[in-house]
Structures are given as C-alpha cells and as structure tokens.
Chain A
C-alpha cells in the first residue's frame, strides 16, 4: 500500500514539473589528468554589468563535479575569501597569463599550493525569463479566499565553462550549456505551479560534462 502511495506521489511530482530541454557543447584542446591530491575550483564570472552568474548555480556545478567523490572541489566563497582581494570581480584574472602574474605573489602561490589547485573552471552566463503571458486574480472575502486564472512563463539559461589548466598555463577546454523551459501556473481556487527546472537542468548538463572532461574513465 505504502509503495503504491509513494509511486502515486512520485507520479504527481513528475506531472507537476514543466518540461526543460538542455543542449551541451564541448570544445576540447587537450586531455585532463587529475591526480588523487589535485583539486578543482569552480568560480563564477561577475564582471558583466547587466547580469550576474548566480552563486547557487556555481555551487550546484561544483557539487555535480564532485558527486562521485573522486574529484576534490573547493567552494567558491572559501577560495575567493582566502585569496582576497585577487579574485574579486573587478580584478579577477581574465586570462591564464594574468593568473600566473598574480600567482607570482608569494602569499597567493602559497594558498594555491596549499589547495593543490590543478584546474580553475570559470562559469559565465545567467538564467532569465524571456516571455510571460496570462494572469491570475486572487480575492479575499468574509466567506473565504481563492484564485482563478492561468499564467505561463518561459526561462532560458546560457552558460559557458572555461577550463584553465593552472599547471600547464593554458585553456584546455570550453563547455557550454543552453537550457530552456516553460512553466505553467493554473489557478482554480488554489494556484498549482508546474515549474520547469531550467537552471537546475543547465547545472546538471554542465556539471556532468565537466566531470566527464576531468575524469574521462569514471
């Protein structure tokens, strides 16, 4: 009985989720090789004035890369705080060459050695609502409250991850993920949100591909 109920709830959950499509592209300039002691850092680009790479997306990609437990991923805020101010949005290195210039400082080199950083992955992009339609009206009265209407909106994600090999001093690859999905919200007394997990889809797509890039045999 309980198994039937669990199955029913799972079916409801799937039915209550909007559809998302994800496209992942990869450009490879070399093979990655990670030792057991090497670590990877995932950082978000924050220099653009009209958008911001979401910190939760960067964290999600980090978790996805390290999900098998065979890749050590250093958290973004921890890394940026330890190396303050050298990875702040306005002065963060934009090329591997400028990273090596910063790494010539003894204190920066010491922290990078301590973490055993081999790859730095820069994620650039954002998720935005591209269109929306419909309306929902809600009213409250002495007899009760309720909503009626229908709303829909479309979201699009576009992210690009650039992989820097710190040891070799070069870009070894670029992976991009584009995702889009439509969410619906019908309301008959109670609004029922059918949310498309667009950003989560982009995170899964990008994270899985990055894990395969860094550990092809895993």
Chain B
C-alpha cells in the first residue's frame, strides 16, 4: 500500500477507534422538570439543610465487569426537592447546618436529605427490555433544636422501556427521572404516615415566631451530612 493511501486509511479508522473506546464509558447528567404537585399544604415552617453531597450527587460505576457509567442526579434532585417541599409546607427556609440545642432555628422541622444507595440495570444485563434505576434516600427529620425526630429510609424506583433509535443516555435519564418522580410521590403520600413524624405532628406546639435576625448556626461536622 502506498504511504499516502495508508495515511488516508488511518485517518478514516482513527475516529472509528476513538468512538469504539468511548463506547466503553458513558456519562449522564440527569435533566428534566417536575410538575407542581397536588398536595394539601401543611402549616409548617421547614428548614432545608444545605447538603452539597446531595445537590452534587454523582454515581460512578466502580465494578470492573460493567461499563464505566457516570450518572449525575444532584441537579435534578435539588429541583425535585424544591418543587415538592415548596408545595408541601407553608414556608421553606434554607439552613447551613442542623441547629443545636442552644441555638434553635426559627422553623418547626428541619430536613436533611441524603442518598444512601444508587443502583441501575441495563437491558443487556437483565435480558429484559427495560432500563431500571433504584435510589435509596435517607430523609433525616430534626426538630428546631436539632433532636432527631425520624430517619426515614425512602426507596425510589424508575424504569423505562428500550426504544428504537433511543440512546442509552436518554433511556437512563428517563429512568432516573421516573425514579425521582417516584421519590416525590413517596415523600408526598408517605410523610404523615411515618410513625415518628405522625407522633410529632400530634404534639401540641406554639406557632413559630420569626426573629428579626436569625440566630447564627454553629459550624457542624461535615461527616454528619
């Protein structure tokens, strides 16, 4: 083969080889919107603890037997939480940390969301024509003095069928969106059914008075998040 022709063949094969190598890894940053839920608003002021690990959550596949997928759900989770919590409670206050006994936060309850586990399954692994996603959330609920009211383990599940000409990225995005919608539905319908929360809601309490200058929150151990 002439050197010029060989160079031309190499030039043609190089993009093909690069795309084949890229096929061994995938990245999805989950995108989508959540509808405004139909829910009875509770007369509660809720503090939402800023948890960067939750808002920037990214799952990275570590198994040697699977493709190296990176699935970022943090942004979508943040969107879901603000939509659902905003609709469920009278007022939502952002908090930097969980309040301490000496310096109560001007709220009724404090929510700290965390992702405990994330799993996914592709059609080629299960031999079923659906993409599946499981997320296990831990929603820790504290009173305004930082005492733990409940540690609610909330599982979420989403699936989407394979479709002709639909990429794996799009299918995974859709499956995660379905799991997040399921999480939102569980949060709305299950919140008052959690025994500890139900008991707390039944307690008589004085209405929250908003201080003019909110009490400063003490720095907390990062590991608690």
Contacts and interface: CB of A to CB of B under 8 A. Distances in A.
Interface of A: 46, 50-52, 54-56, 81-86, 88-91, 105, 107-108, 111, 126, 128, 142
Q: Could you tell me the dominant secondary structure of chain A's interface residues?
A: loop
A154 to B, nearest CB: 15
Given A52-B159, A90-B182, A85 B189 contact: yes
A118 B159 CA distance: 29
B181 A85 contact: yes
Given A84-B185, A90-B185, A128-B129, 5 more contacts: A50-B128, A52-B159, A56-B163, A85-B185, A90-B182
Interface stretch (B35-43, B49-57, B135-143, B208-216): B35-43
Interface of B: 1, 5, 9, 34-39, 128-130, 157, 159-161, 163, 178, 181-182, 184-186, 188-189
Contact of B185 (A46, A91, A108): A91
Contacts of A50: 128
A178 B206 CA distance: 62
28 contacts: A50-B128, A51-B128, A52-B130, A52-B161, A54-B163, A55-B161, A56-B163, A82-B35, A83-B38, A84-B37, A84-B38, A84-B184, A84-B185, A85-B37, A85-B39, A85-B184, A85-B185, A85-B188, A88-B182, A88-B185, A89-B182, A90-B157, A90-B182, A108-B38, A126-B129, A128-B129, A142-B1, A142-B9
Q: Could you tell me the dominant secondary structure of chain B's interface residues?
A: mixed
Contacts of B38: 83-86, 105, 107-108, 111
A60 to B, nearest CB: 13
A77 to B, nearest CB: 10
Contacts of B129: 51, 126, 128
Nearest to B8: A142
B129 to A, nearest CB: 7
Contacts of A46: 159
Contacts of B186: 90
A126 B160 CA distance: 12
Nearest to A55: B161
A105 B188 CA distance: 14
B41 to A, nearest CB: 11
A83 B37 CA distance: 7
